[in-house]
Amino acid sequence: MSRIGKKPVAVPEGITASVDGQTVTIKGPKGERKYVLNEEVLVKMEDGAIAVSPRDQSKDARSKWGMSRTQLDNIIHGLSNGFTRTLEINGVGYRAAMQGKNLQLSLGYSHEVVYEVPEGITVATPKPTEITVSGTDKQQVGQVCAEIRAYRSPEPYKGKGIKYAEEKIVRKEGKKK
């Protein structure tokens, strides 16, 4: 039994949700999103909340039950509050700057790395060594952060590179004489 799937997804003030078959349409102050649920789960509106339940007790239906509920919860949270992740840049001469809609990164290569920010995502650089990525889609925010981090992931000896703000780099000891 899915413990998370049993809880209905509350629809807060300012958010409107409608269920049409397997499609859930959610509108909020930051936009509108549609989510089509798998055929293995049932969805319905009950008392101002969205309830998700498995169609039968098969393993496939039960495995998609909690995931579907979490996806709906993330959409509602994203349209009301949004999601934000922060990246930190460590290293001498490593820095980031916004250039129009593109993120320009100096990461010790012979050239500047230019990252084109996709639609629906906002990237800001409050400091030259800090990047803030925000948007309404949790998966897309995480994907953009992972792509930026992949340009120069942190190395274990000096910790140089791009890391998540909450990430702890496990350091290695250098060579001994």
**Residue 53, domain CATH:** 3.90.930.12
What Å distances lie between residue 164 and 50, 63, 75, 116, 134, CA to CA?
Answer: 33, 30, 23, 19, 14
Domain tally, the chain? 2
Residues 98 and 26 in one domain: no
Q: Tell me, yes or no, whether 171 lies in a domain.
A: no
Residues 109 and 132 in one domain: yes
Residues 131 and 69 in one domain: no
Write out the chain's pLDDT in tens, 177 residues: 668 888 999 998 889 999 998 899 999 999 899 999 999 999 999 888 999 999 898 888 888 998 999 999 999 999 999 999 999 999 999 999 999 999 999 999 999 999 999 999 999 999 999 999 999 999 999 999 999 999 999 999 999 999 999 999 999 998 888
Indicate the residue among 32, 64, 80 that finishes a domain: 80
Domain hosting residue 137, numbered range: 83-164
Q: Tell me, yes or no, whether 174 lies in a domain.
A: no
CA dist., res. 6 & res. 73, Å (int):
13
Indicate the residue among 47, 80, 113 that finishes a domain: 80
Kindly give the pairing relationship between strand 121-127 and strand 113-116. unpaired
Residues 122 and 135 in one domain: yes
pTM: 0.87
Which residue is listed with tokens 């990525």? 133
Q: Tell me, yes or no, whether 18 lies in a domain.
A: yes
Residues 121 and 99 in one domain: yes
- Smallest Cα–Cα separation from 34: which of 14, 50, 18? 18
Indicate the residue among 44, 62, 80 that finishes a domain: 80
